[in-house]
Structure 1
Amino acid sequence: MDASGATPGHLLELIRSRPAWTRQQLLDATGMSRPTLLERISPLFAAGLVCEAGSTASIGGRPAQLIRFDDRQLTVLTFDVGHTHARVGLTGVHGGELHSVSRRIDVSHTPPDAMLADLVAVADGVLASCPPQRLIGVGVGLPGPIEPGTGLPKPTTILPGWDAYPLPDVLRERWDVPMVFENDARALAFGEASRHPGETVLGVKWATGIGAGLVTGGMSLTGDDGTAGDIGHVKLARTGPECRCGRRGCLAAYASGHALLGQLGFGSLTDIALRADEPPVHRALVTAGRKLGTVLASLIAMANPRTLVLGGIIGALPGVVDAVGTRIRDITLLRSTAGLRIVPSSLGERAATVGLVNLVVGRVLAPEAIDRALAADHGPIGVLSYPPRTLRA
């Protein structure tokens, strides 16, 4: 291709597309002259974004030096916050986890200031456990809708007190790096989609609540108001069990993990997972799976995904996957499901973390973002210093 007019940001995107390049290979791929290539690549070396990586094997002439994306020590800090558990992790830009800590929480009954103070303290411990890293961004997943463009939580009964809470401002006072805020189910779907490149992927998080995300063309659908994927509150009947949203007959009132705990009298979702083969539990899961399959069938008929991934501690159970798949195929035309794969999560509890990391990396290392950072006379990444800023009271 002729990319002789490509900016340093676009050149970095090309370099990232494979493990290593020689300068001659870059010249051939871009159509640049040698002086132009030197002009475009020099700022990337100066910013620590590319490095030399040895040389080619000698075949009689002088070995050529190899150039690669310098991902050493580049990391993303993530907060995967669910209804009852939070996971704080430090991960490399290619998905390799350096360290993480999970802890039980009660997001519905903990004020946001207290929740954040606790999770930031956990993050301090995660960061301190690793050698100083080059932190390029922070990703946050929450079990509720997020306002596009601002990262502010939107109203939901699950997160009382979080409506318009200045989460981005609070965290930027601690870490002055680019940040991504996303619904936890959509983050899970984006993470799972990385295992199915080029496909349209519908991902479902089924744990305490039920949410979904749709990824197509490498992009996650957020919707105009940030509520895309809020399938747990699709109403299945005018009457029925009361939902935590205050209405009756919602999918979540029948099939969410919260509802199943009430139906089975168990204390935790782990109990349900461990006893999933017991007849009463199995029957309850199959019934719930059929309810979820009814809702997903319409989405599949509309979006025609190649893969449906069921994640979360309930969603990934084998019997649940079978029940959901059977119901979908029972009520959907064959042409909508002929090529559909219905599979459990392959990333498990790391799915949302992987999604958040990929969203941050996609934003920070986008060609336009790299060019803006270089034009501002500073690199898009900085060496993380300890201790970070103090969390606002």
Structure 2
Amino acid sequence: MAGERTDGLVAVLEAIRAGAGVTQTQIARRLGLGRTVVAQRVARLEGAGLVVQDGRAPSNGGRAPRLLRLRAAAGLVAGVDIGATGMAVGLADLTGAVLTEVREPIDVSDGPDVVLGRAEHLLTVLLDALDDPPPVWGVGIGVPGPVEFATSRPVAPPIMPGWDGHPIRERLSARFGAPVWVDNDVNVLALGELRANPAAAAVGDLLYVKIGTGIGAGLVSGGRVHRGVNGCAGDVGHVAVAEADTVVCRCGNVGCLEAVAGGDALAREGRRLAEGGSSPVLAELLAARGSLTAADVTAAAERGDPAARAVLARAGRLVGATLATLVSFYNPGLVVLGGGVVHAGDHVLAAIRESVYRRSLPLATRTLRIEPSTLGEAAGLAGAVHLVLDNVFSPARLPLWLAHGSPSGLPEVASAEVRLPA
């Protein structure tokens, strides 16, 4: 397929995918293409089973023009969002709308055979529960560690023993006969926010910061996730901070932000407060449970415990100071905060906001908004689904499967050597 024709076909398909219904005249006007060219591209997409007529638009005096939409039910997309302590698995249609999902606790340190085996089982159960399901077009997976995006393999992930270099793509491709893409969980969260949150889509340039067991950031520039050359852009959790210069991080280095402001660090500090008598509330919780989590520290802060509030405020200031540098350097329009530590209460959020606005360049914060994620846990599954959709419908990938009718049965579509935007 010639490059110009491919670009035109993809552009027409994108225009149809972008709305609930659009006419050929609207597409031609929007893209600056001739009506004949648009009609040819639409006919090609209809012939491939990707586009269908869906009613008619209001008439302007002549025959009412037909509305076109993506045939969402032509295929399914599987999404797997793997966190440190939990996993979400779901199936979506070709618009990205999640049709069915299941969530359950897991321990990522159990290793890939256990965790991926469970994901495969859950996806199979969801597929078997559907009446005459369409083919699976692809599988998108987010994991809580660095991923070499070109190969979809984790690289030395600190909290994922046994996962280093594991062939996730090859395993899932063999199981479901479809292309597979794997990315760092925060990139997947950022993509989910971008595709499912209208405010994020309108901005186009944003940072998604997850503060949970670990700390990471996903960067979106011009409406695209920026992964860097090897896929590790945004790994802010292991940026060195002066306040942590004596604390050993789980990555093996000393002084990482995550080591003093992540969920494990908050739990450790909470235990110190409880055992030292500085926090009666945390001492009570520790005595009742035998251990403490970051959520317990937040709960104590909500009950008015000053020591717990001070711990959360310090963590927020440390994270905010690092983000202030990123905000001045990158100048996003929106910073989205997610993860269990943020969603558990407002104490960390308030401290982050104060630190970023105080320490960033005035111009960088003139229109900046810092908000908690509106999607919460749903962002990960949404991002995993759109990781597939963005790739299968891209100019580089579409020609690889269009003649076949779908990417189902063509796992090589994901691993083909094509130039994709970073």
Q: Fold-level match, TM-score > 0.5?
A: yes
Q: CA deviation at 1:39?
A: 4.1
Distance 2:267 2:300 in 1: 12
Give per-residue Cα distances to partners, 1:41-91, cap 9 Å, x unaligned.
Answer: 333223221111123456775444332222135432111111111111112
State whether structure 2 residue 179 is matched by structure 1 residue 154: no
State whether structure 2 residue 240 is matched by structure 1 residue 240: no
Counterpart residue type for residue 45 of structure 2: L
Closer, same or farther in 2 for the Cα pair 1:291/1:52, shift >3 Å? same
Decide which of 350, 374, 391 is 1:363's aligned counterpart. 391
The structure in which a higher percent of residues are helix is 2
Counterpart residue type for residue 76 of structure 1: V
Q: Secondary structure at the match of 1:141?
A: strand
Partner of 2:236: 231
Distance 1:153 1:372 in 2: 26
Closer, same or farther in 2 for the Cα pair 1:213/1:31, shift >3 Å? closer
**Does the CA-based 8 Å contact 1:99-1:130 persist in structure 2?**
no
Closer, same or farther in 2 for the Cα pair 1:22/1:249, shift >3 Å? closer
Distance 1:77 1:209 in 2: 26
Distance 2:26 2:96 in 1: 27
State whether structure 2 residue 112 is matched by structure 1 residue 98: no
Partner of 2:353: 325
Counterpart residue type for residue 300 of structure 1: V
1:333-352 matches, cutoff 5 A? 333-352=361-380
Closer, same or farther in 2 for the Cα pair 1:4/1:126, shift >3 Å? closer
Partner of 1:250: 256
**Does the CA-based 8 Å contact 1:290-1:323 persist in structure 2?**
yes
State whether structure 2 residue 384 is matched by structure 1 residue 379: no
Normalising by structure 1, what TM-score? 0.87
Q: CA deviation at 1:220?
A: 1.1
Q: CA deviation at 1:235?
A: 1.9
Closer, same or farther in 2 for the Cα pair 1:243/1:379, shift >3 Å? same
Closer, same or farther in 2 for the Cα pair 1:273/1:361, shift >3 Å? farther
Distance 1:31 1:103 in 2: 48
**Does the CA-based 8 Å contact 1:370-1:380 persist in structure 2?**
no
Decide which of 199, 216, 237 is 2:221's aligned counterpart. 216
Closer, same or farther in 2 for the Cα pair 1:286/1:44, shift >3 Å? same
**Does the CA-based 8 Å contact 1:318-1:344 persist in structure 2?**
no
349-358 or 70-79: which moved more? 70-79
Closer, same or farther in 2 for the Cα pair 1:209/1:54, shift >3 Å? same
Computed over aligned residues only, the root mean square deviation of the Cα atoms, in angstroms, reads 2.5
Counterpart residue type for residue 213 of structure 1: G
Distance 2:319 2:42 in 1: 51
Distance 2:29 2:207 in 1: 39
Closer, same or farther in 2 for the Cα pair 1:45/1:230, shift >3 Å? same
State whether structure 2 residue 327 is matched by structure 1 residue 303: no
**For structure 2, which runs of at least 5 residues remain unmatched after alignment?**
272-290, 410-422
Distance 2:257 2:207 in 1: 18
**Does the CA-based 8 Å contact 1:7-1:371 persist in structure 2?**
no
Q: Secondary structure at the match of 1:191?
A: helix
Q: CA deviation at 1:381?
A: 4.5
**Does the CA-based 8 Å contact 2:177-2:408 persist in structure 1?**
no
Q: CA deviation at 1:129?
A: 3.0
Closer, same or farther in 2 for the Cα pair 1:268/1:123, shift >3 Å? farther
Closer, same or farther in 2 for the Cα pair 1:323/1:67, shift >3 Å? same
Counterpart residue type for residue 352 of structure 1: G
Distance 1:113 1:328 in 2: 41
Counterpart residue type for residue 302 of structure 2: D
Give per-residue Cα distances to partners, 1:270-324, cap 9 Å, x unaligned.
Answer: 4445444132332211111111111111111100111111101112332211111
1:69-148 matches, cutoff 5 A? 69-72=70-73, 74-108=75-109, 110-131=110-131, 132-148=133-149
**Does the CA-based 8 Å contact 2:76-2:135 persist in structure 1?**
yes
Counterpart residue type for residue 346 of structure 1: T
Partner of 1:287: 314
**Does the CA-based 8 Å contact 2:215-2:258 persist in structure 1?**
yes
Partner of 1:13: 14
Counterpart residue type for residue 96 of structure 1: A
Q: CA deviation at 1:371?
A: 3.0
Q: Secondary structure at the match of 1:156?
A: coil
Normalising by structure 2, what TM-score? 0.82
Counterpart residue type for residue 288 of structure 1: A
Distance 1:5 1:370 in 2: 8
Closer, same or farther in 2 for the Cα pair 1:381/1:46, shift >3 Å? farther
Closer, same or farther in 2 for the Cα pair 1:262/1:31, shift >3 Å? closer
Partner of 2:164: 163
**Does the CA-based 8 Å contact 1:8-1:370 persist in structure 2?**
no
Tell me: higher relative CO, structure 1 or 2? Use CA pairs within 8 A at least 6 residues apart: 1
Q: CA deviation at 1:341?
A: 0.8
Q: Secondary structure at the match of 1:295?
A: helix
Closer, same or farther in 2 for the Cα pair 1:193/1:329, shift >3 Å? same
Q: CA deviation at 1:349?
A: 0.3
Distance 2:332 2:257 in 1: 21
Give per-residue Cα distances to partners, 1:306-358, cap 9 Å, x unaligned.
Answer: 11111011123322111111112222232222221111111100112222222
Partner of 1:262: 268
Q: Secondary structure at the match of 2:155?
A: coil
Percent identical residues: 36
State whether structure 2 residue 282 is matched by structure 1 residue 277: no
**Does the CA-based 8 Å contact 1:136-1:177 persist in structure 2?**
yes
Partner of 2:205: 200
Closer, same or farther in 2 for the Cα pair 1:295/1:19, shift >3 Å? same
Counterpart residue type for residue 295 of structure 1: T
